[in-house]
Chains A and B, each alone.
Chain A
Amino acid sequence: MERRAYYKNPMLPWLLLAPQLLLVLVFFYWPTSQALYWAFTLEQPWGGGNSWVWFDNFISIFRDREYWGTVLRSGLYAMVTTGLSMAIALTLAAFVDRSLKGTKFFQSIFVWPYAIAAPAAGVAFRFIFAPESGLIGSINQVWPGIWDPATNGWHALAMVIVCHAWLGIGYNFIFFLAALQMIPRSISEAGAMDGARPFRRMLDLQLPLIAPTAFFLLIMNIISSFTDSFGLIDTMTEGGPIGQTEVMVYKIYFDGFKGLDYSGAAAQSIILMLLVIGLTFVQFKWVERRVHYN
């Protein structure tokens, strides 16, 4: 049977939808259309209208070696952040799922980082990683100069990555724990009767059964590392030292608002958008086709 609500007044549903539609239009479709327009046009040097340039903006980006460096850095950032965050979250979830002592307590503790806004976490981690006074910086007193994110690009990148991974642990943890708890206890017990120790059961029985969740998280984490990294980088390194922590999303901001190259930045943001749309599409396709064990 079809279950639908009917409205006598045909305007009413539109009125009810209006606030949400307005928000989406003003804050999503309008900026996106502007970005599209800018991406295909070039502003004249002294103002006075845009001229249509087709794909010139994209071509000049793709010819820019510095841009490809940013892309590679973004890829590395995505891989390491996602891997680190998911591995730690899975380990924690596996322990919580074994319902050891204090499980309930840790269950809530592990989720907390997710509730912290990225810039706030960025500031906190800047203190923790500060070479002259921070927690991690204290190793400089043992080996002077071994840790210096202010001048060493790799150190700076590692610092941002660790912070980003830490922020994502809570989110990943919830999903992993939920997935692990969906597996019937008896499957693990059957494994125990078959002689497999806990770690073996994790590898052979639990991991394959939570693969769909792991894939979902993989995509979500990659998307997050592409887009959410902005707040962190802006508070922690501002892309520096010398652009060594500049990822795609930060370069858009830097080229557009600092470099005032709206057209180039708009083209970059279209590329990033397509990338995220592509990943989302893969995710949906896969969820539809996902194997249901029963």
Chain B
Amino acid sequence: MSQISIKGVKKSYLKTPVIHGVDVEIEAGEFVVILGPSGCGKSTLLRMIAGLEDITAGEIAIGGKVVNQLEPRERGCAMVFQNYALYPHMTVRQNIGYSLKVAKVPRVERDARVMKVAQSVSLETFLDRRPGELSGGQRQRVAMARAMVREPKVFLFDEPFSNLDAKLRVAMRAEVRRLHRDLGVTSVFVTHDQTEAMTLADKLIIMNAGNVEQIGKPTEVYNNPASRFVADFIGSPAMNLFEGEFDADGHFVHGQGGKMNVSQLNGVRQPGKKVVLGVRPESVRRTHAETHGAIAAVVDYVEELGASRLIHADANGSRIVALDTDTAEIKSGTRVHLSLEADALHLFSVENGRRIAH
């Protein structure tokens, strides 16, 4: 039995639908990340699980029990908010212990439990300070400790690291990962940061415009994006996407008449039908002109990354980006030949953006 079961959940504000029907099963102990651009409905979905938003249609069950009509306090979830939402007039100790105080846990036990979680996030020396006297990272840890102290069935994280600087974010990521490993509590984590999503998730849910685009393991989503949106959204630098069609000879025609030899797609090509061909920059290699099927392109500019570089080039009117690890220097304006790795091609429908299997 799954820990959280979301069936046909919809959300509308007044008459405006924002979530169009989401079906997700989350297993006990899983770390699930909901990823999507801002405004895609990911936070709304999380808040519906928490009980902070009404569910317009559909059903959410936690631990086998439908929670649609339950108040947040009856759902057994703890939440970490984006802006921490700490109680500014309480000390760290009071902040962490507030839920226990509300639940009438005796003082001695309360103090012991607060101390225990404070130690697990290295806050034990800050217990008598107020949130205003803490740094961003420390406040974040207070927010996590406050969620942990209740020993909830489910942790909900609403973009918890978006106010932290890059370095702290990496550190907090590791901390969350470690806590999840130690506690093993089912977690749902919302973010728009794909690195965060890829590194944290057991299971990734990609959302766009109120719909779930794809559910899967991070590597699965990366290697087999289910739609053009996912292909474009996941991966940095973004996947090269070419709109075009196959000609009678089996070449992919794109841009201003540029041709690519993509014999590995022989099985699915339909001459004359418009499709989108995708290939990740790291699957585009710089080669010699003689190589079979190489694409001629003119280098537009080069982004130096140290160990590697990104070549932005123009191939017959189509932009193509290649991640180049060759040590030979390359200047803008030079002609290069690029070859696409045979098993790294993705094909999507122009009409609905879904993946075309091959």
* A7 interface contact, C-beta 8 A: no
Contact A193 B102 (CB under 8 A): no
Neighbouring B residues of A195 by C-beta, 8 Å: 72-73, 99, 102-103, 150
A85 to B139, CA, bound (A): 38
Contact A192 B98 (CB under 8 A): no
Report the minimal beta-carbon distance from B2 to chain A, rounded to whole angstroms: 22
* A189 interface contact, C-beta 8 A: yes
* B174 interface contact, C-beta 8 A: no
A191 to B78, CA, bound (A): 11
The answer to whether residues A184 and B146 also contact, given A195-B102, A293-B88 and a CB cut-off of 8 A, is no
Contact B85 A294 (CB under 8 A): no
Neighbouring A residues of B79 by C-beta, 8 Å: 189-190, 193
Number of A residues whose C-beta is below 8 Å from B? 20
For A195, A205, A208, A294, the residue with the greatest tally of chain B CB atoms inside 10 Å of its CB is A195
Report the minimal beta-carbon distance from B158 to chain A, rounded to whole angstroms: 9
* A204 interface contact, C-beta 8 A: yes
Report the minimal beta-carbon distance from A189 to chain B, rounded to whole angstroms: 5
The answer to whether residues A186 and B83 also contact, given A194-B98, A200-B102, A293-B88 and a CB cut-off of 8 A, is yes
Contact B81 A190 (CB under 8 A): yes
* B176 interface contact, C-beta 8 A: no
Neighbouring A residues of B73 by C-beta, 8 Å: 192-197
Contact A186 B81 (CB under 8 A): yes
* A187 interface contact, C-beta 8 A: yes
For A186, A193, A294, the residue with the greatest tally of chain B CB atoms inside 10 Å of its CB is A193
Q: Residue on A with the closest CB to B143? A: A190
- Majority SS at the chain A contact face: helix
Contact A187 B103 (CB under 8 A): no
Contact A194 B85 (CB under 8 A): no
Contact A189 B146 (CB under 8 A): no
The answer to whether residues A193 and B78 also contact, given A184-B83, A186-B83 and a CB cut-off of 8 A, is yes
* A209 interface contact, C-beta 8 A: yes
Q: Within B99-140, which residues are at the interface with A (CB < 8 Å)?
A: 99, 102-103, 130, 132
Contacting residue for A196 out of B77, B89, B102, CB 8 A: B102
A51 to B119, CA, bound (A): 78
Contacting residue for A294 out of B102, B132, B146, CB 8 A: B132
Contact A294 B88 (CB under 8 A): yes
Q: Residue on B with the closest CB to A294? A: B132
Given A186-B81, A194-B73, A196-B98, output 10 extra A-B contacts at Cβ < 8 Å: A187-B88, A190-B85, A190-B146, A192-B51, A193-B78, A195-B99, A195-B103, A208-B89, A293-B88, A293-B89
The 7 closest A-B pairs by CB, nearest first: A293-B88, A194-B99, A186-B85, A195-B73, A190-B85, A208-B89, A195-B102
**Chain A contacts to B: CB under 8 angstroms:** 184, 186-187, 189-197, 200, 204-205, 208-209, 292-294
